[in-house]
Structure 1
Amino acid sequence: MKNKRKILDWMLLIAWMILIFTMSNQPANISDSQSEGAIKVLLLIGIDANSIFGQLANFIVRKCAHFLEYMVLALLYINVAKHYFTKKVVIISTVAFVFTYACSDEIHQLFVQGREGAFRDVLIDTCGGVTLLLIRLGISSIKLLKLR
């Protein structure tokens, strides 16, 4: 059973990495239209991002997407890494993994029409991964306090 879980964890991580790669491989005009679609969905649920952020709405939606997709990447990596490493190594390797994948993603975007690689995005992506780690550590601490 544990072996099946390990395989599933690997499959989910690889699938998410492929999804990030695929999203980054889209030309700028397609990526922009997806952000506009997200803004329309927000409007449907009562959040008018354009009136709140003005022309920055598209930029903010895109950066939030970066942050969230790398939070998920960190979660999926942690699920794989905990099969192999101690908690301390999982924490350190998660930050290193997210940072490295974010760097490779931005380098990849240098070769996609209308896209650019930005170190700012690497920082946003890494912050998403670190935030997930902090949430997980906070939850673990709360659970420990309840046991005492």
Structure 2
Amino acid sequence: MKNNKRTLRWALLIIWMIIIFTFSQLPGNLSDEQSHAVIYIFKLLGLRLDSFFGDLANFAVRKASHFSEYFILFLLALNLTKTYFNKWKSRNIALLIVFLYACSDEFHQIFIPGRTAAIRDVLIDTCGGLLAYLISTLISRRRQASN
């Protein structure tokens, strides 16, 4: 049973990495279209991001997507690494995975038409992982305090 759980955790992490890679593989114009689609969906829900953020709505959606993708990546990496290491070490390794994957993702985008590599995006991605790190630490400490 333990091997099945570990295999599932590896699979989830790899699948999520493939999803991130697939989004990064899109040329710049298609990526922009996705952002505009998200803005439109929010508009249908009664939230006008373009009136809130103005011309920066597309930028805000793109960066929020980066942040969210890597928040989830951290959680999946943590879920896997905790089967191999203690809590502290597994969190640090999971954050390292987030940072390294963000770096490789930005390098990959150099080769995609209409896309560029940006250190800013690596920082945003890593901050998504860092927030997940902090939340997981707080939850862990709260659980320890209640026991």
Matching residue of 1:94: 94
| Matched ranges for 1:1-148 at <5 A | 1-147=1-147
Identity %: 50
Match for 2:47: what amino acid? Answer: I
CA distance in 2, matches of 1:91, 1:136: 8
Letter in 2 for 1:127: C
Q: How far off its partner does 1:2 sit? A: 1.2
Distance 2:86 2:142 in 1: 20
By how many angstroms is 1:126 displaced? Answer: 0.2
Q: CA deviation at 1:45?
A: 1.6
Q: How much has 1:132 moved relative to structure 2?
A: 0.5
Structure 2 unaligned regions, length at least 5: none
How many residues are aligned here? 147
Q: Could you tell me which amino acid in structure 2 is paired with residue 146 of structure 1?
A: S
Letter in 2 for 1:63: K
Q: CA deviation at 1:144?
A: 2.1
TM-score (normalizing by structure 2): 0.97
Shift, 1:37, TM fit:
0.6
Give distance in 2, aligned partners of 1:7 and 1:75: 16
